[in-house]
Structure 1
Amino acid sequence: MINGEKRTAHPIRWAMVGGGQGSQIGYIHRSAALRDNTFQLVAGAFDIDPARGKAFGTSLGLEPQRCYDSYQEMFAAEALRVDGIQAVSIATPNGTHYAICKAALLAGLHVVCEKPLCFTVEEAVELRELAVSRKKIVGVTYGYAGHQLIEQARAMIANGELGDIRIVNMQFAHGFHSEAVEEANPATRWRVDPRFAGPSYVLGDVGTHPLYLSEVMLPEMKIESLMCTRQSFVKSRAPLEDNAYTLMRYTNGAMGFVWSSAVNAGSMHGQKIRVIGSRASLEWWDEHPNQLSFEIQGKPAQILERGMSYLHPSALLDDRIGGGHSEGLFEAWSNLYYRFAIAMDATDRDDQEQLSALRYPDIHAGVEGVRWVENCVRSADAGGVWVDYQ
């Protein structure tokens, strides 16, 4: 990708719901989607305040009449246009995802949705069935899953370089909410309110990210049972947790652990994954995304660098600049968005061969994220007991 080749014949006409003025995540979505000319932003319902949303949309260069008061209005109006939208990204609070995603699929649109897709497995399965029946893709923004060294780790594990996998250690534990910052920050306040955030805070907000990285690296490993305990160290957040520990048994006998936290005081981001085999281990940390630690028992540790010719071809495919230069969040998101675009285009053309060769966090990944949170909450609320994974 260093030369910036075109990925699709034409950009996909695209809109956003949410992600308006001051939204960090909205800016990330737009930067990622527009980087490779695979999407063209043509419409939006950016804000619950219609005037503010219209002003923001026009500041992005959109036609005023395509800056809508609501997603319902947008889906209806765009369906009547010859040049109407083909896809929509949802960057709104968690409690709205299910309704907007369902409405988008019913309107015949492809969807890119923030996680979680919804609050229950029942809702998630309904969305999956709707996506399949309507022949539309749903992409989920597990952003760092698009980083090249995640592909490198997947290839090394598949090649048997770690031996038999025994332990998967995961965490996403930052410290920015170690105090009740939501009292002065509306953007954080909804995350700790069950009406908008759903049945969990950090399990769904951060814990599902390294969990999905493990699913990319270890696609054959399935959870058999788990035990979860969760805490509300900032008491006003109860019943939602700001810290949680999840222990998992896999069907192959391996063990997994996820530390999900917003109260790891002093930690900037703290998303890490370490995969431990019988011969060697791999570790990746999103604060140092261009390095993958590879440690063979009895030999000096190695640091594998992004962009180097010794990496697996799948880990070089998405490089945007040569080795030695830093790539991170925006590039990883861009890699996901171009895959979303290819999947949308291939689906519309019914190109099953191209679809079968493409990996991205899809509707199935979204369903599994909701399933994991639901099982964690079930275990924690029963007193931190082992539960069969359902």
Structure 2
Amino acid sequence: MIQGDLRVTVPIRWAMVGGGRGSQIGYSHRCAALRDNSFQLLAGAFDIDPERGRDFGEALRVAPERCYPDYRTLFAEEAKRPDGIQAVSIATPNGTHFAICKAALEAGLHVVCEKPLCFTVEEAETLRALARERRRLVGVTYGYAGHQLIRQARAMIAAGELGEIRMVHMQFAHGFHSEAVELANPSTRWRVDPKHVGPSYVLGDLATHPYYIAETLLPDRRIKRLLCSRQSFVESRAPLEDNAYVLMEYEGGVMGHLWASAVNAGSMHGQKVRVIGSKASLEWWDEHPNQLRYEVQGEPVRILERGMDYLSPEAREDDRIGAGHPEGLFEAWANLYGRFALAMEALDRDDTAAVEALGIPGIEAGVEGVRWVEHCVRSAEAGAVWVDYR
């Protein structure tokens, strides 16, 4: 059933920090947030250059007086307005996330933040404590988790259709950085600079996406220990890795494997998650996100299609255009933004149970992503050894 109803009572008054002209990720945020009329873009500090930011904001039909030179001015001035913003999205380089997110929470705003949420577990826990104290949402844009068939896979695993879970294999391995493209591309250059991205490149930038999907599919599984080996095949990127392998041992004996790479030459995207049980397996590939591969031992392979009536109610909630019409990344992001808006409404009325039922990548997902990267780096720097997960 196509869900065409407006789900938010009144659109959330919303602003952006970063995401200015030429920003691919900024465009993704706006397309997603505005798609279902859940948010209204009213203000922003869109660029580190105030004039460029103002010019771009006006091109988006944001009032000139609400195009601010920086995030601190944005938060301070909007707080004075009776129609001031309620939420902000952060689409800036990684090294700025903690300071901006902290300032937004202190200003009483809901936050949607690019990943990684910050660089250290200590910083992440500071944000978690502040979000709980202020009763504000912190959503993290693990956008691929918004695809319908991720929710379908979760429902099938929970129903026991795979039997006892034994393994989960994850990868995000593209080939677009097989050479030192950052030398000629400023938008890539900061991604391989520790000052801007912290202690890792592909572990934080790529691997956390399939890792979060695996968390979504197996919410009750906890890692006991992991081992990480990372490489810098383009030597100028050292000490940051452009390729990494992670082995994980979960509680209950489930084993996990994750491959993250930006040097998988010829691969377009290469993000896949495969969950293997004692009876059957499920595999989802983000280059074909409208299909979920279901393999029962001894039976023909089944391909489940998005939008079909045989899917779970959770998956059908995200249907917009019916079966047969392919949906893509913007719809997946819009599914998350729609749930972010519902969560913001729920928190504003102190309904935490409603927030938990939405299944969004919130502050806990942000903290866990930072914790996982931190453990991977610790293992790799110790010589690719097993480290206890705590």
Structure 1 partner of 2:131? 131
Residue in structure 2 matched with residue 385 of structure 1 by the alignment? 385
Which amino acid in 1 is paired with 2:148?
Q
CA contact 2:115–2:366 (8 Å) conserved in 1:
yes
Query: C-alpha distance in 2, partners of 1:355/1:54?
Result: 35
Deviation string 1:39-70 (CA, Å, 9 cap, x unpaired) is 00000000011100000000000110100100
Separation in 1 of the partners of 2:14 and 2:320? Answer: 23
Question: What is the letter of the counterpart of residue 78 of structure 2?
Answer: E
Aligned match of 2:360: 360
Aligned ranges 1:4-153 → 2 under 5 Å: 4-153=4-153
Q: Secondary structure at the match of 2:153?
A: helix
Letter in 1 for 2:316: L
Question: Given residue 124 of structure 1, which amino acid in structure 2 is its aligned partner?
Answer: A
Deviation by residue 1:163-183 (Cα, 9 ceiling, x = unmatched): 111110000000110000000
Report how far residue 354 of structure 1 moved. Answer: 2.1
Residue 328 (structure 2) pairs with residue 321 (structure 1): no
Aligned counterpart, 2:299: 299
CA distance in 1 between partners of 2:358 and 2:303 (Å): 28
What CA deviation, in whole Å up to 9, does each residue of 1:234-258 have, x standing for no partner?
A: 0000000000000000001010011
Structure 1 residue identity aligned to 2:281: S
Supply the distance in 2 between the matched residues of 1:101 and 1:163 (Cα, whole angstroms).
Answer: 41
Name the CA distance, whole Å, in 1 between partners of 2:86 and 2:317. 27
Per-residue CA distance 1:51-104 (angstroms, 9 max, x = gap): 000000000001101001000110010000000010000000000000000000
Which residue in the other structure is 2:253 paired with? 253
Q: Distance in 2 between matches of 1:111 and 1:354?
A: 18
Q: 1:241 to 1:311 in 2, by over 3 A?
A: same
CA-CA distance at 1:6 after TM superposition: 1.1
Structure 1 window deviating more from structure 2 (354-363 vs 7-16): it is 354-363
Deviation at 1:3, TM superposition (A): 4.6
Q: Structure 2: which amino acid aligns with 1:258?
A: L
C-alpha distance in 2, partners of 1:218/1:157?
A: 8
Distance 1:232 1:364 in 2: 30
Query: TM-score under structure 1 normalisation?
Result: 0.99
Q: Residue 217 of structure 1 aligns with which residue?
A: 217
Give the CA deviation at 1:313: 1.0
2:308: which partner in 1?
308
Secondary structure of the 2:156 match is: helix
Deviation at 1:350, TM superposition (A): 1.2
**Cross-structure match for 2:205:** 205
Per the alignment, in what secondary structure is the counterpart of residue 275 of structure 2? strand
* Deviation sequence 1:287-335 (CA, Å, 0-9, x none): 0000000000111110001111111111111101111110110100000
Unaligned runs of 5+ in 1: none
Mapping 1:336-351, distance limit 5 Å = 336-351=336-351
Displacement, 1:349? 1.1
2:12/2:87 contact within 8 Å kept: yes
CA RMSD of aligned residues (A): 0.7
Q: Aligned to 2:358, what secondary structure does the other structure show? A: coil
**Aligned partner letter, 1:302:** R
Q: CA deviation at 1:351?
A: 2.1
SS in 2 for 1:355: helix
One-letter code of the match for 1:2? Answer: I
Name the count of aligned residue pairs: 390
CA distance, structure 1, for counterparts of residue 355 and residue 243 of structure 2: 38
Distance 1:195 1:2 in 2: 45
- Local SS of the residue matching 2:283: strand
- TM-aligned CA deviation for residue 2 of structure 1: 2.4
Q: What runs of 5+ residues in structure 2 fail to find an aligned partner?
A: none
Equivalent residue, structure 1, for 2:262: 262
* Aligned partners of 2:227 and 2:380 also within 8 Å: yes
Give the conservation status (yes or no) of the 8 Å contact 2:230–2:245. yes
Q: Which residue of 1 aligns with 2:187?
A: 187
Alpha-carbon distance between aligned partners in 1 of 2:197 and 2:350, rounded to the nearest angstrom: 36
User: Which residue type is aligned with residue 33 of structure 2?
Assistant: A
State the distance in 1 between where 2:352 and 2:363 align: 17
Query: Counterpart of 1:357 in 2: which secondary structure?
Result: helix
Q: Which residue of 1 aligns with 2:273?
A: 273
Distance in 2, matches of 1:57 and 1:185, equals 24
Work out the CA distance in 2 between the residues paired with 1:258 and 1:92: 27
Q: Distance in 2 between matches of 1:353 and 1:188?
A: 40
Cα offset for 1:353?
Answer: 3.7
Could you say which residue in structure 2 is the equivalent of 1:243?
A: 243
Provide the rounded CA distance (Å) in 2 between the counterparts of 1:351 and 1:196. Answer: 37
In 2, distance between residues paired with 1:246 and 1:224? 13
Q: Which residue of 2 aligns with 1:287?
A: 287
